[in-house]
Structure 1
Amino acid sequence: METLLIYLIVGAVAGTIAGLFGVGGGLIIVPALVLVYTALGIPAEILTHMAVATSLATIVITSLSSIRTHHLKGAVDWRVFLSMTPGILLGSWLGGVTAHLLPGAWLQLLIGIFALVIAVRMWRAGRRPATLLADGEKLPGGPFLAGVGGVIGWASAIFGIGGGSLTVPFLTRCRVQMQRAVATSAACGLPIAVAGAISFAVQGWGEPQLPAWSSGYIYWPAFFGIVVASTPFARIGANLAHRMSPQLLKNCFAGLLCVIGARFIWLNAGLVLGH
Protein backbone atom coordinates (compact mmCIF):
# COMPACT_ATOMS: atom_id res chain seq x y z
CA MET A 1 0.00 0.00 0.00
CA GLU A 2 2.82 2.39 0.88
CA THR A 3 4.54 1.62 -2.44
CA LEU A 4 1.36 2.37 -4.40
CA LEU A 5 1.11 5.70 -2.56
CA ILE A 6 4.64 6.53 -3.69
CA TYR A 7 3.71 5.89 -7.32
CA LEU A 8 0.57 8.00 -6.95
CA ILE A 9 2.75 10.83 -5.63
CA VAL A 10 5.16 10.42 -8.57
CA GLY A 11 2.21 10.59 -10.95
CA ALA A 12 0.79 13.66 -9.21
CA VAL A 13 4.13 15.50 -9.33
CA ALA A 14 4.80 14.49 -12.94
CA GLY A 15 1.29 15.48 -14.01
CA THR A 16 1.46 18.84 -12.27
CA ILE A 17 4.85 19.65 -13.77
CA ALA A 18 3.70 18.51 -17.22
CA GLY A 19 0.69 20.79 -16.95
CA LEU A 20 2.73 23.70 -15.59
CA PHE A 21 5.53 23.59 -18.12
CA GLY A 22 3.76 22.14 -21.14
CA VAL A 23 6.14 19.20 -21.50
CA GLY A 24 5.68 15.45 -21.39
CA GLY A 25 5.93 13.83 -18.00
CA GLY A 26 8.72 11.49 -19.09
CA LEU A 27 11.38 14.05 -18.24
CA ILE A 28 10.18 13.85 -14.63
CA ILE A 29 8.86 10.28 -14.40
CA VAL A 30 12.15 8.62 -15.38
CA PRO A 31 14.35 10.39 -12.78
CA ALA A 32 11.65 10.00 -10.11
CA LEU A 33 11.29 6.26 -10.76
CA VAL A 34 15.06 5.84 -10.70
CA LEU A 35 15.06 7.30 -7.17
CA VAL A 36 12.07 5.18 -6.07
CA TYR A 37 13.41 1.95 -7.54
CA THR A 38 16.80 2.60 -5.93
CA ALA A 39 15.15 3.12 -2.53
CA LEU A 40 13.15 -0.10 -3.00
CA GLY A 41 16.34 -2.07 -3.59
CA ILE A 42 15.74 -2.97 -7.22
CA PRO A 43 19.08 -4.05 -8.77
CA ALA A 44 21.04 -1.20 -10.35
CA GLU A 45 21.55 -3.21 -13.53
CA ILE A 46 17.85 -3.05 -14.43
CA LEU A 47 16.22 -0.19 -12.50
CA THR A 48 16.95 2.50 -15.11
CA HIS A 49 15.62 0.29 -17.90
CA MET A 50 12.47 -0.28 -15.80
CA ALA A 51 12.06 3.46 -15.25
CA VAL A 52 12.33 4.24 -18.98
CA ALA A 53 10.03 1.39 -20.00
CA THR A 54 7.37 2.26 -17.44
CA SER A 55 7.51 5.92 -18.44
CA LEU A 56 6.88 4.98 -22.09
CA ALA A 57 3.96 2.76 -21.08
CA THR A 58 2.31 5.64 -19.18
CA ILE A 59 2.75 7.93 -22.20
CA VAL A 60 0.65 5.50 -24.27
CA ILE A 61 -2.33 6.35 -22.05
CA THR A 62 -1.71 10.05 -21.45
CA SER A 63 -1.04 10.75 -25.14
CA LEU A 64 -4.50 9.50 -26.15
CA SER A 65 -6.20 12.28 -24.22
CA SER A 66 -3.79 14.86 -25.61
CA ILE A 67 -4.31 13.68 -29.20
CA ARG A 68 -8.09 13.85 -28.84
CA THR A 69 -7.93 17.41 -27.53
CA HIS A 70 -5.66 18.62 -30.33
CA HIS A 71 -7.65 16.75 -33.00
CA LEU A 72 -10.93 18.35 -31.92
CA LYS A 73 -9.26 21.73 -32.39
CA GLY A 74 -8.15 20.70 -35.88
CA ALA A 75 -4.50 21.31 -35.00
CA VAL A 76 -2.91 17.94 -35.88
CA ASP A 77 -1.22 17.74 -39.27
CA TRP A 78 -2.09 14.11 -40.03
CA ARG A 79 -0.10 14.13 -43.27
CA VAL A 80 3.08 14.87 -41.37
CA PHE A 81 2.11 12.33 -38.70
CA LEU A 82 1.57 9.56 -41.28
CA SER A 83 4.85 10.40 -43.02
CA MET A 84 6.86 10.26 -39.80
CA THR A 85 5.16 7.24 -38.18
CA PRO A 86 6.91 4.41 -40.09
CA GLY A 87 10.29 5.80 -39.10
CA ILE A 88 9.11 6.47 -35.56
CA LEU A 89 7.93 2.88 -35.08
CA LEU A 90 11.20 1.42 -36.32
CA GLY A 91 13.33 3.95 -34.46
CA SER A 92 11.48 3.49 -31.17
CA TRP A 93 11.83 -0.28 -31.38
CA LEU A 94 15.56 0.07 -32.03
CA GLY A 95 15.78 2.56 -29.17
CA GLY A 96 14.51 -0.13 -26.81
CA VAL A 97 17.08 -2.55 -28.19
CA THR A 98 19.85 0.02 -27.80
CA ALA A 99 18.88 0.82 -24.20
CA HIS A 100 18.78 -2.89 -23.36
CA LEU A 101 22.40 -3.21 -24.51
CA LEU A 102 23.55 -0.27 -22.37
CA PRO A 103 24.57 -0.76 -18.72
CA GLY A 104 22.40 1.14 -16.23
CA ALA A 105 25.16 3.67 -15.46
CA TRP A 106 25.57 4.51 -19.15
CA LEU A 107 21.82 4.94 -19.54
CA GLN A 108 21.59 7.28 -16.55
CA LEU A 109 24.58 9.28 -17.79
CA LEU A 110 22.95 9.77 -21.20
CA ILE A 111 19.66 10.81 -19.56
CA GLY A 112 21.56 13.33 -17.43
CA ILE A 113 23.29 14.84 -20.44
CA PHE A 114 19.98 14.98 -22.32
CA ALA A 115 18.32 16.82 -19.38
CA LEU A 116 21.09 19.45 -19.41
CA VAL A 117 20.81 19.90 -23.20
CA ILE A 118 17.05 20.46 -22.95
CA ALA A 119 17.57 22.94 -20.08
CA VAL A 120 20.07 24.99 -22.10
CA ARG A 121 17.75 24.95 -25.13
CA MET A 122 14.87 26.23 -23.00
CA TRP A 123 16.96 29.13 -21.70
CA ARG A 124 18.18 30.02 -25.19
CA ALA A 125 14.66 29.80 -26.63
CA GLY A 126 13.42 32.19 -23.98
CA ARG A 127 15.89 34.84 -25.15
CA ARG A 128 14.88 34.68 -28.81
CA PRO A 129 11.89 36.66 -30.09
CA ALA A 130 8.92 34.48 -31.01
CA THR A 131 7.97 34.33 -34.69
CA LEU A 132 4.92 32.92 -36.39
CA LEU A 133 5.89 31.25 -39.63
CA ALA A 134 3.81 30.15 -42.57
CA ASP A 135 2.21 26.77 -41.93
CA GLY A 136 3.78 23.95 -43.92
CA GLU A 137 6.21 26.17 -45.82
CA LYS A 138 9.40 24.31 -46.86
CA LEU A 139 8.14 21.09 -45.28
CA PRO A 140 10.37 18.17 -46.39
CA GLY A 141 9.07 15.19 -48.33
CA GLY A 142 7.81 11.89 -46.91
CA PRO A 143 11.08 9.88 -47.01
CA PHE A 144 12.96 12.63 -45.19
CA LEU A 145 10.21 12.94 -42.58
CA ALA A 146 10.30 9.16 -42.06
CA GLY A 147 14.06 9.31 -41.56
CA VAL A 148 13.80 12.12 -39.04
CA GLY A 149 10.98 10.22 -37.33
CA GLY A 150 13.33 7.26 -36.98
CA VAL A 151 15.97 9.35 -35.24
CA ILE A 152 13.40 11.01 -32.96
CA GLY A 153 11.80 7.67 -32.11
CA TRP A 154 15.17 6.08 -31.36
CA ALA A 155 16.30 8.86 -29.02
CA SER A 156 12.89 9.21 -27.35
CA ALA A 157 12.70 5.50 -26.53
CA ILE A 158 16.16 5.59 -24.94
CA PHE A 159 15.19 8.54 -22.74
CA GLY A 160 11.64 7.40 -21.98
CA ILE A 161 9.94 10.50 -23.39
CA GLY A 162 7.18 11.21 -25.89
CA GLY A 163 9.54 13.12 -28.18
CA GLY A 164 8.00 16.58 -27.89
CA SER A 165 11.32 18.18 -26.97
CA LEU A 166 12.71 16.84 -30.25
CA THR A 167 9.72 16.86 -32.61
CA VAL A 168 8.50 20.40 -31.90
CA PRO A 169 11.87 22.09 -32.65
CA PHE A 170 12.20 20.07 -35.87
CA LEU A 171 8.72 20.99 -37.11
CA THR A 172 9.13 24.67 -36.23
CA ARG A 173 12.41 24.73 -38.13
CA CYS A 174 10.41 23.38 -41.08
CA ARG A 175 8.23 26.50 -40.71
CA VAL A 176 5.22 24.74 -39.21
CA GLN A 177 3.19 27.03 -36.95
CA MET A 178 3.88 26.41 -33.28
CA GLN A 179 0.30 25.34 -32.48
CA ARG A 180 0.31 22.72 -35.22
CA ALA A 181 3.85 21.63 -34.34
CA VAL A 182 2.86 20.98 -30.72
CA ALA A 183 -0.34 19.16 -31.72
CA THR A 184 1.40 17.00 -34.34
CA SER A 185 4.20 16.25 -31.89
CA ALA A 186 1.61 15.07 -29.36
CA ALA A 187 0.20 12.69 -31.97
CA CYS A 188 3.69 11.38 -32.77
CA GLY A 189 4.16 10.60 -29.08
CA LEU A 190 1.70 7.69 -29.34
CA PRO A 191 3.66 5.51 -31.82
CA ILE A 192 6.87 6.42 -29.99
CA ALA A 193 5.43 5.18 -26.70
CA VAL A 194 3.73 2.08 -28.13
CA ALA A 195 6.74 0.80 -30.09
CA GLY A 196 9.19 1.76 -27.36
CA ALA A 197 7.19 0.16 -24.55
CA ILE A 198 6.70 -3.07 -26.51
CA SER A 199 10.39 -3.17 -27.36
CA PHE A 200 11.38 -2.77 -23.70
CA ALA A 201 8.88 -5.47 -22.71
CA VAL A 202 10.36 -7.88 -25.26
CA GLN A 203 14.01 -7.04 -24.47
CA GLY A 204 13.48 -7.54 -20.75
CA TRP A 205 11.34 -10.65 -20.99
CA GLY A 206 12.76 -13.42 -18.82
CA GLU A 207 15.19 -11.14 -16.97
CA PRO A 208 15.66 -13.03 -13.67
CA GLN A 209 16.17 -9.92 -11.50
CA LEU A 210 12.84 -8.30 -12.40
CA PRO A 211 10.27 -8.04 -9.61
CA ALA A 212 6.82 -9.62 -9.75
CA TRP A 213 4.13 -7.79 -11.75
CA SER A 214 6.56 -6.94 -14.53
CA SER A 215 6.19 -7.48 -18.26
CA GLY A 216 9.76 -7.29 -19.38
CA TYR A 217 11.03 -3.96 -18.10
CA ILE A 218 7.51 -2.49 -17.64
CA TYR A 219 6.54 -2.48 -13.96
CA TRP A 220 2.74 -2.42 -13.69
CA PRO A 221 2.28 -1.15 -10.08
CA ALA A 222 4.22 2.00 -11.01
CA PHE A 223 2.36 2.28 -14.31
CA PHE A 224 -1.10 2.22 -12.72
CA GLY A 225 -0.19 4.56 -9.88
CA ILE A 226 1.27 7.14 -12.26
CA VAL A 227 -1.56 6.95 -14.80
CA VAL A 228 -4.26 7.31 -12.15
CA ALA A 229 -2.69 10.42 -10.60
CA SER A 230 -1.02 12.19 -13.51
CA THR A 231 -4.11 13.03 -15.59
CA PRO A 232 -6.10 15.01 -12.98
CA PHE A 233 -2.98 16.74 -11.68
CA ALA A 234 -1.99 17.76 -15.21
CA ARG A 235 -5.19 19.82 -15.31
CA ILE A 236 -4.25 21.42 -11.98
CA GLY A 237 -0.80 22.26 -13.33
CA ALA A 238 -2.28 23.75 -16.50
CA ASN A 239 -4.59 25.97 -14.46
CA LEU A 240 -1.68 27.14 -12.31
CA ALA A 241 0.36 27.92 -15.42
CA HIS A 242 -2.17 30.52 -16.53
CA ARG A 243 -1.56 32.45 -13.31
CA MET A 244 2.23 32.58 -13.62
CA SER A 245 4.77 34.20 -15.92
CA PRO A 246 5.60 31.91 -18.89
CA GLN A 247 9.25 32.97 -18.78
CA LEU A 248 9.45 32.28 -15.05
CA LEU A 249 7.95 28.84 -15.62
CA LYS A 250 10.50 28.02 -18.33
CA ASN A 251 13.40 29.18 -16.16
CA CYS A 252 12.17 27.16 -13.18
CA PHE A 253 11.77 24.00 -15.22
CA ALA A 254 15.15 24.47 -16.89
CA GLY A 255 16.68 24.85 -13.43
CA LEU A 256 15.00 21.63 -12.29
CA LEU A 257 16.35 19.79 -15.34
CA CYS A 258 19.83 21.10 -14.56
CA VAL A 259 19.65 19.67 -11.04
CA ILE A 260 18.41 16.31 -12.36
CA GLY A 261 20.99 16.19 -15.14
CA ALA A 262 23.88 17.22 -12.91
CA ARG A 263 22.94 14.60 -10.32
CA PHE A 264 22.75 11.79 -12.88
CA ILE A 265 26.08 12.80 -14.41
CA TRP A 266 27.78 13.16 -11.01
CA LEU A 267 26.63 9.74 -9.81
CA ASN A 268 27.41 7.84 -13.01
CA ALA A 269 30.36 9.53 -14.74
CA GLY A 270 32.83 7.84 -12.40
CA LEU A 271 31.22 4.44 -12.92
CA VAL A 272 31.33 4.83 -16.71
CA LEU A 273 34.90 6.12 -16.79
CA GLY A 274 35.95 3.43 -14.35
CA HIS A 275 34.96 0.77 -16.88
Structure 2
Amino acid sequence: MEWWAAYLALGAVAGFLGGMFGIGGGTVMVPVLVMLFEAQSFPGEQIMHLALGTAMACIVFTALASLRKHHQHGAVNWGIVRRITPGILLGTALGALSAFSVSPRFLFGFFACFVYFAAAQILLDLRPHAGRDLPGRAGMSAMGVCTGWLSSLVSIGGGTVVIPFLVWCNIPLRQAIGTSSAIGLPIALGGSAGYLLTGLSAGAASLPPHTLGFIYLPALLGLATASMTTAPLGARAAHRLPLGILRKAFALVLLVLASKMLLKALG
Protein backbone atom coordinates (compact mmCIF):
# COMPACT_ATOMS: atom_id res chain seq x y z
CA MET A 1 0.00 0.00 0.00
CA GLU A 2 2.88 2.39 0.63
CA TRP A 3 3.85 2.19 -3.05
CA TRP A 4 0.30 3.03 -4.12
CA ALA A 5 0.31 6.00 -1.75
CA ALA A 6 3.65 7.17 -3.18
CA TYR A 7 2.41 6.89 -6.77
CA LEU A 8 -0.80 8.77 -5.97
CA ALA A 9 1.09 11.56 -4.19
CA LEU A 10 3.61 11.87 -7.03
CA GLY A 11 0.82 11.93 -9.62
CA ALA A 12 -1.04 14.65 -7.74
CA VAL A 13 2.01 16.92 -7.59
CA ALA A 14 3.12 16.25 -11.17
CA GLY A 15 -0.39 16.74 -12.55
CA PHE A 16 -0.82 20.08 -10.82
CA LEU A 17 2.57 21.35 -12.02
CA GLY A 18 1.92 20.05 -15.52
CA GLY A 19 -1.40 21.86 -15.71
CA MET A 20 0.02 25.07 -14.28
CA PHE A 21 3.24 25.36 -16.27
CA GLY A 22 2.49 23.26 -19.36
CA ILE A 23 5.52 21.02 -18.74
CA GLY A 24 3.88 17.60 -18.57
CA GLY A 25 5.29 16.78 -15.13
CA GLY A 26 8.05 14.44 -16.37
CA THR A 27 10.83 16.55 -14.86
CA VAL A 28 9.38 15.69 -11.44
CA MET A 29 8.06 12.19 -12.12
CA VAL A 30 11.20 10.63 -13.60
CA PRO A 31 13.64 11.32 -10.71
CA VAL A 32 11.09 10.27 -8.08
CA LEU A 33 10.13 7.13 -10.03
CA VAL A 34 13.82 6.20 -10.20
CA MET A 35 14.01 6.41 -6.40
CA LEU A 36 10.80 4.38 -5.97
CA PHE A 37 11.88 1.70 -8.45
CA GLU A 38 15.29 1.41 -6.77
CA ALA A 39 13.54 0.95 -3.41
CA GLN A 40 11.55 -1.92 -4.97
CA SER A 41 14.79 -3.54 -6.23
CA PHE A 42 14.00 -3.34 -9.93
CA PRO A 43 16.86 -4.34 -12.28
CA GLY A 44 19.33 -1.46 -12.27
CA GLU A 45 19.93 -1.41 -16.01
CA GLN A 46 16.19 -1.04 -16.70
CA ILE A 47 15.22 1.50 -14.03
CA MET A 48 15.78 4.67 -16.05
CA HIS A 49 13.98 3.26 -19.09
CA LEU A 50 11.03 2.20 -16.93
CA ALA A 51 10.87 5.62 -15.28
CA LEU A 52 10.95 7.39 -18.65
CA GLY A 53 8.35 5.11 -20.24
CA THR A 54 5.98 5.20 -17.27
CA ALA A 55 6.22 8.98 -16.95
CA MET A 56 5.60 9.43 -20.67
CA ALA A 57 2.51 7.20 -20.52
CA CYS A 58 1.19 9.22 -17.57
CA ILE A 59 1.61 12.45 -19.54
CA VAL A 60 -1.11 11.18 -21.92
CA PHE A 61 -3.65 11.52 -19.12
CA THR A 62 -2.19 14.75 -17.73
CA ALA A 63 -2.21 16.37 -21.16
CA LEU A 64 -5.82 15.35 -21.79
CA ALA A 65 -6.97 16.85 -18.51
CA SER A 66 -4.97 20.09 -18.73
CA LEU A 67 -5.62 20.83 -22.43
CA ARG A 68 -9.37 20.55 -21.80
CA LYS A 69 -9.17 23.23 -19.12
CA HIS A 70 -6.91 25.49 -21.22
CA HIS A 71 -9.28 25.04 -24.17
CA GLN A 72 -12.19 26.20 -22.01
CA HIS A 73 -10.21 29.40 -21.34
CA GLY A 74 -9.63 29.85 -25.09
CA ALA A 75 -5.87 29.47 -24.62
CA VAL A 76 -5.14 26.74 -27.20
CA ASN A 77 -4.13 27.66 -30.75
CA TRP A 78 -5.29 24.51 -32.54
CA GLY A 79 -3.81 25.65 -35.85
CA ILE A 80 -0.33 25.44 -34.34
CA VAL A 81 -1.11 22.04 -32.82
CA ARG A 82 -2.18 20.63 -36.20
CA ARG A 83 0.89 21.98 -38.00
CA ILE A 84 3.46 20.71 -35.52
CA THR A 85 1.96 17.28 -34.73
CA PRO A 86 3.34 15.27 -37.73
CA GLY A 87 6.90 16.27 -36.85
CA ILE A 88 6.20 15.58 -33.17
CA LEU A 89 5.16 11.98 -33.88
CA LEU A 90 8.29 11.29 -35.92
CA GLY A 91 10.52 12.92 -33.31
CA THR A 92 9.06 10.97 -30.39
CA ALA A 93 9.70 7.68 -32.18
CA LEU A 94 13.32 8.69 -32.75
CA GLY A 95 13.64 9.76 -29.10
CA ALA A 96 12.42 6.42 -27.73
CA LEU A 97 14.84 4.58 -30.03
CA SER A 98 17.68 6.85 -28.88
CA ALA A 99 16.89 6.16 -25.22
CA PHE A 100 16.92 2.42 -25.87
CA SER A 101 20.27 2.52 -27.67
CA VAL A 102 22.33 4.45 -25.09
CA SER A 103 23.56 3.46 -21.64
CA PRO A 104 21.56 4.16 -18.46
CA ARG A 105 24.45 6.29 -17.18
CA PHE A 106 24.21 8.53 -20.25
CA LEU A 107 20.44 8.84 -19.74
CA PHE A 108 20.92 9.88 -16.10
CA GLY A 109 23.47 12.52 -17.10
CA PHE A 110 21.53 13.83 -20.08
CA PHE A 111 18.33 14.07 -18.05
CA ALA A 112 20.13 15.91 -15.22
CA CYS A 113 21.65 18.44 -17.64
CA PHE A 114 18.26 19.06 -19.22
CA VAL A 115 16.60 19.63 -15.85
CA TYR A 116 19.39 22.05 -14.86
CA PHE A 117 18.63 23.96 -18.06
CA ALA A 118 14.91 23.98 -17.30
CA ALA A 119 15.52 25.22 -13.74
CA ALA A 120 17.87 27.98 -14.94
CA GLN A 121 15.31 29.02 -17.53
CA ILE A 122 12.75 29.49 -14.77
CA LEU A 123 15.01 31.09 -12.13
CA LEU A 124 16.54 33.60 -14.52
CA ASP A 125 13.28 34.16 -16.41
CA LEU A 126 15.03 33.40 -19.69
CA ARG A 127 12.20 34.23 -22.03
CA PRO A 128 12.94 35.27 -25.63
CA HIS A 129 11.55 38.54 -26.88
CA ALA A 130 8.90 38.24 -29.56
CA GLY A 131 10.86 38.75 -32.73
CA ARG A 132 9.34 36.84 -35.62
CA ASP A 133 6.25 35.14 -36.98
CA LEU A 134 5.58 31.41 -36.91
CA PRO A 135 7.58 29.52 -39.57
CA GLY A 136 5.96 27.75 -42.52
CA ARG A 137 5.06 24.10 -42.79
CA ALA A 138 8.67 22.91 -43.19
CA GLY A 139 9.88 24.97 -40.24
CA MET A 140 7.05 23.78 -38.01
CA SER A 141 7.73 20.16 -38.99
CA ALA A 142 11.43 20.55 -38.17
CA MET A 143 10.54 22.13 -34.84
CA GLY A 144 8.15 19.24 -34.17
CA VAL A 145 10.82 16.61 -34.86
CA CYS A 146 13.35 18.30 -32.56
CA THR A 147 10.77 18.83 -29.81
CA GLY A 148 9.43 15.28 -30.08
CA TRP A 149 12.93 13.77 -29.99
CA LEU A 150 14.03 15.70 -26.91
CA SER A 151 10.69 15.29 -25.13
CA SER A 152 10.66 11.53 -25.64
CA LEU A 153 14.31 11.16 -24.60
CA VAL A 154 13.78 12.93 -21.26
CA SER A 155 10.02 12.21 -20.89
CA ILE A 156 8.55 15.71 -20.78
CA GLY A 157 5.47 17.27 -22.33
CA GLY A 158 7.59 19.66 -24.39
CA GLY A 159 6.74 22.88 -22.57
CA THR A 160 10.37 23.75 -21.81
CA VAL A 161 11.03 23.91 -25.55
CA VAL A 162 7.64 24.83 -27.01
CA ILE A 163 6.70 27.74 -24.73
CA PRO A 164 9.86 29.84 -25.41
CA PHE A 165 9.55 29.07 -29.12
CA LEU A 166 5.93 30.23 -29.26
CA VAL A 167 6.66 33.37 -27.23
CA TRP A 168 9.53 34.14 -29.65
CA CYS A 169 6.98 33.79 -32.46
CA ASN A 170 4.67 36.48 -30.99
CA ILE A 171 2.26 34.09 -29.25
CA PRO A 172 1.02 35.53 -25.87
CA LEU A 173 2.43 33.68 -22.85
CA ARG A 174 -0.85 32.23 -21.53
CA GLN A 175 -1.79 31.02 -25.02
CA ALA A 176 1.72 29.56 -25.39
CA ILE A 177 1.21 27.61 -22.13
CA GLY A 178 -2.23 26.37 -23.24
CA THR A 179 -1.00 25.39 -26.70
CA SER A 180 2.01 23.62 -25.16
CA SER A 181 -0.37 21.56 -23.01
CA ALA A 182 -2.25 20.47 -26.15
CA ILE A 183 0.99 19.64 -27.98
CA GLY A 184 1.87 17.47 -24.98
CA LEU A 185 -0.78 14.96 -26.07
CA PRO A 186 0.82 13.84 -29.38
CA ILE A 187 4.21 13.94 -27.64
CA ALA A 188 2.95 11.59 -24.94
CA LEU A 189 1.12 9.28 -27.36
CA GLY A 190 4.12 8.93 -29.67
CA GLY A 191 6.63 8.59 -26.84
CA SER A 192 4.52 6.02 -24.98
CA ALA A 193 4.21 3.91 -28.12
CA GLY A 194 7.98 4.11 -28.59
CA TYR A 195 8.78 3.00 -25.03
CA LEU A 196 6.18 0.25 -25.22
CA LEU A 197 7.63 -1.21 -28.42
CA THR A 198 11.30 -0.87 -27.43
CA GLY A 199 10.50 -2.47 -24.07
CA LEU A 200 8.77 -5.39 -25.74
CA SER A 201 11.79 -5.89 -27.97
CA ALA A 202 13.98 -6.00 -24.83
CA GLY A 203 12.10 -9.12 -23.67
CA ALA A 204 9.67 -9.55 -20.80
CA ALA A 205 12.03 -11.88 -18.92
CA SER A 206 14.39 -9.01 -18.08
CA LEU A 207 11.62 -6.71 -16.80
CA PRO A 208 9.66 -6.68 -13.50
CA PRO A 209 6.16 -8.19 -13.40
CA HIS A 210 3.18 -6.06 -14.45
CA THR A 211 5.04 -4.14 -17.15
CA LEU A 212 3.96 -3.41 -20.71
CA GLY A 213 7.18 -2.72 -22.56
CA PHE A 214 8.97 -0.07 -20.52
CA ILE A 215 5.70 1.03 -18.84
CA TYR A 216 5.16 -0.16 -15.26
CA LEU A 217 1.39 -0.50 -15.03
CA PRO A 218 0.81 -0.20 -11.24
CA ALA A 219 2.75 3.08 -11.16
CA LEU A 220 0.92 4.32 -14.26
CA LEU A 221 -2.46 3.61 -12.68
CA GLY A 222 -1.63 5.53 -9.50
CA LEU A 223 0.03 8.43 -11.33
CA ALA A 224 -2.74 8.79 -13.91
CA THR A 225 -5.57 8.60 -11.37
CA ALA A 226 -4.14 11.44 -9.30
CA SER A 227 -2.74 13.56 -12.13
CA MET A 228 -6.03 13.67 -14.03
CA THR A 229 -7.63 15.12 -10.90
CA THR A 230 -5.01 17.79 -10.21
CA ALA A 231 -4.01 18.80 -13.77
CA PRO A 232 -7.22 20.84 -14.32
CA LEU A 233 -6.62 22.55 -10.96
CA GLY A 234 -3.14 23.53 -12.10
CA ALA A 235 -4.46 24.81 -15.42
CA ARG A 236 -7.07 26.87 -13.59
CA ALA A 237 -4.40 28.24 -11.26
CA ALA A 238 -2.31 29.34 -14.26
CA HIS A 239 -5.12 31.72 -15.21
CA ARG A 240 -5.70 33.05 -11.68
CA LEU A 241 -2.45 33.07 -9.66
CA PRO A 242 0.73 35.16 -9.94
CA LEU A 243 3.13 32.53 -11.20
CA GLY A 244 6.47 34.25 -10.49
CA ILE A 245 7.06 33.02 -6.93
CA LEU A 246 5.62 29.57 -7.65
CA ARG A 247 7.87 29.15 -10.69
CA LYS A 248 10.99 29.97 -8.67
CA ALA A 249 10.07 27.54 -5.89
CA PHE A 250 9.48 24.87 -8.52
CA ALA A 251 12.89 25.63 -10.08
CA LEU A 252 14.62 25.03 -6.73
CA VAL A 253 12.94 21.63 -6.46
CA LEU A 254 14.16 20.81 -9.97
CA LEU A 255 17.74 21.71 -9.00
CA VAL A 256 17.65 19.26 -6.11
CA LEU A 257 16.22 16.44 -8.28
CA ALA A 258 18.71 17.14 -11.09
CA SER A 259 21.63 17.04 -8.67
CA LYS A 260 20.54 13.63 -7.42
CA MET A 261 20.33 12.33 -11.00
CA LEU A 262 23.76 13.78 -11.84
CA LEU A 263 25.31 11.99 -8.86
CA LYS A 264 23.89 8.72 -10.22
CA ALA A 265 25.38 9.45 -13.64
CA LEU A 266 28.78 10.07 -12.03
CA GLY A 267 28.56 6.78 -10.19
TM-score (norm 2): 0.90
Larger deviation, residues 94-103 vs 240-249: 240-249
Matching of residue 192 in structure 1 with residue 187 in structure 2 = yes
Structure 2 CA distance for partners of 1:71 and 1:242, relative to 1, 3 Å: closer
Distance 1:120 1:70 in 2: 26
SS at match of 1:125: coil
Larger deviation, residues 18-27 vs 81-90: 18-27
Larger deviation, residues 195-204 vs 76-85: 76-85
Matching of residue 104 in structure 1 with residue 104 in structure 2 = yes
TM-score (norm 1): 0.88
| Aligned equivalent of 1:221 | 218
Q: Percent identity?
A: 38
Which runs of no fewer than 5 residues in structure 2 stay unpaired? none
1:246 corresponds to which letter in structure 2? L
| Aligned equivalent of 1:249 | 246
The CA deviation string for residues 149-180 of structure 1, in whole angstroms up to 9 with x for no partner, is 10000000011111011101111111112122
| Aligned equivalent of 1:53 | 53
Q: Would you say the 8 A contact 1:105–1:268 is kept in 2? A: yes
Structure 2 CA distance for partners of 1:101 and 1:265, relative to 1, 3 Å: same
Structure 2 CA distance for partners of 1:76 and 1:220, relative to 1, 3 Å: same
SS at match of 2:150: helix
The CA deviation string for residues 26-85 of structure 1, in whole angstroms up to 9 with x for no partner, is 111111100000110001111111111111111111211222222233332222211111
Alignment of 1:148-227 (within 5 A): 148-205=143-200, 206-227=203-224
| Aligned equivalent of 1:262 | 259
Q: Would you say the 8 A contact 2:22–2:180 is kept in 1? A: no
1:160 corresponds to which letter in structure 2? S
The CA deviation at 1:247 is 2.6
2:106 corresponds to which letter in structure 1? W
Q: Would you say the 8 A contact 2:22–2:159 is kept in 1? A: no
The CA deviation at 1:218 is 0.6
The CA deviation at 1:239 is 7.6
Considering only CA atoms, is the larger Rg found in Structure 1 or Structure 2?
A: 1
SS at match of 1:85: helix
